[in-house]
Every structure is written in C-alpha cells, then in structure tokens.
Homo-oligomer: A and B are copies of this chain.
C-alpha cells in the first residue's frame, strides 16, 4: 500500500473522530495549525513506545499498542492539569506488517482519542524493521495555572490518585488532573517510571525532600511493586495538609536535602524505570 493511500485512510478515520474548534488545519499539510484561545497556556509532551521495550507484537494487538502510545502522552497532560487538544502520531512499521495492522493501531489510538476529545492532527509514517511510535500531545490550561513539578512546598501533604504496583491497561488521569488544578493543586507528576523515582524528580524540581508514611498497594502487588514499578499512570500530587480532595495521603513534603525520600524514617534508594541504567552497570 502506498503512503498516500494510507494517509488518506488515516485522515478519514481521524476526521470521523471530530476535530477541535481551535484546530485550523489537521492532516494533509506540512504542519497542523492551531489557533490558540485568549488567556490559555499550551502544554506539550512526547513519548516513545518501542517494540521489545514497551510491547511485543505477539503479546499485544495493534489496537493495544495504539492505545498505549496515546495513553502515555495523555498521562503527561494529566499531570499538568491540562485539557487535551490534539496529538501528532509518528509511527514506523516493518514492510511485513499488513495495512490491516496499521489500521488496528490507529483504531485503538483513535478510540482512546475520542474518549478524551483529543484530535489526531498529523504525524509521520515510515518503514522500519521494528514497530516504533512517538506520540506528541498538546493540552490547554488557563494562563499560569499549569500544575508543575516545581511547586511542592515543605509541609504539604503528598497524595496519589490510586493504588500502585499492578498496572493493566492504565487509564490516564486526565479528569482527575483537571479537577485537582481547579481545586488549586499546584504540584504534581504522573507515575510513569515508579513512585520513588517520580517523587524524587518532583522533589528535585521543587528543592524539597519527602517522607512517605504509607502507600496504597494494588491488589496482587507487593510494597516493592508499589514503590518501584512504573507504568501506573496515577498522579502524585502535593497540597496543604488539610485539603479534602478525596485521595489517599501517602506522606509529607519536608525541607531536607532536595530529592531525599524516606519511608518511616529510612532513606529509600532512588531506582525505577530508568532507561539509561544499563550503561552504568
């Protein structure tokens, strides 16, 4: 199948999914064109999903891989408290994979896209010897209201939006992120690489340390899983200790050495899904 024909088909699929009013041009030009609204900031993030690293073709369907590719980026939008607007999808597949596979990939991705009202506005399509995808998502927040990693303050309580350690087809916490932003939450991060490493990142950006009291462990998972397994996509956020936000409190932000994380007084090792750890071994 020719690229031009595939693009035509994707475009039809994408347009059937509706289009954000602020998207002036979608698929079919050198660039997508967005017309920003007054008084909004725009949030941008991009994430790879790679064959053999995030999925395998025998264990994941095309639709699951499309879903996963978009879910990872949506989770970053959620962490800023932003509302999804559009995505660009770059995907490369081996010649041996049929057009049907690519169709399945886009169908899985667009099903999730419709759920979150995010438009597919363009991307890139290529041949490669493995399946790789990179999804860029754009979201909007009222001006100056994005939730940041750098806004945690000593004395804040630390919360998570759900139990950790046993992710299965994780749900990006977009609605929760928007609700937290509206409730005045200033600092958050999504748990993509593991609670401890992502809390570490938030603490470093905020110049604070943290003390964990207890962590909600998902059914069938261990405390170790909850602390160090990634791909949960729950949000970790901080707020003044008396906030009644309806989520599980797991600890307290402290004024200590930036990035130090303790659990019941004991210093935790910062490890997790760090893609570059291999080279240090």
Q: Are B44 and A146 interface neighbours, CB within 8 A?
A: no
Q: Are B48 and A126 interface neighbours, CB within 8 A?
A: yes
**In the assembly, what is the distance between CA of A82 and CA of B44, in Å?**
19
Residues in A lying within 8 Å of B, measured CB to CB: 1-6, 24-25, 28-36, 38, 40-48, 50, 52-53, 76-77, 79-80, 82, 86, 88, 90, 92, 95, 99, 121-130, 132, 134, 136, 138-139, 141, 143, 146, 148-150, 189-190, 201, 205, 274-280
Q: Taking each of A4, A47, A189, A274, which has the highest tally of chain B beta carbons within 10 Å of its own beta carbon?
A: A4
Contact residue among B1, B43, B48, B122 (Cβ-Cβ distance under 8 Å from A279): B1
**In the assembly, what is the distance between CA of A38 and CA of B35, in Å?**
10
Q: Taking each of A3, A42, A77, A276, which has the highest tally of chain B beta carbons within 10 Å of its own beta carbon?
A: A276
Q: Are A46 and B4 interface neighbours, CB within 8 A?
A: no
Beyond A1-B280, A30-B189, A31-B82, 9 additional contacts (C-beta under 8 Å) are A28-B150, A29-B150, A30-B77, A31-B139, A36-B41, A38-B38, A44-B122, A50-B92, A128-B132
Q: Are B128 and A53 interface neighbours, CB within 8 A?
A: yes
Q: Are A46 and B90 interface neighbours, CB within 8 A?
A: yes
- Give the top 10 A-B pairs by smallest Cβ distance, nearest first: A36-B36, A31-B43, A134-B134, A30-B79, A3-B276, A30-B76, A31-B45, A46-B88, A95-B278, A136-B136
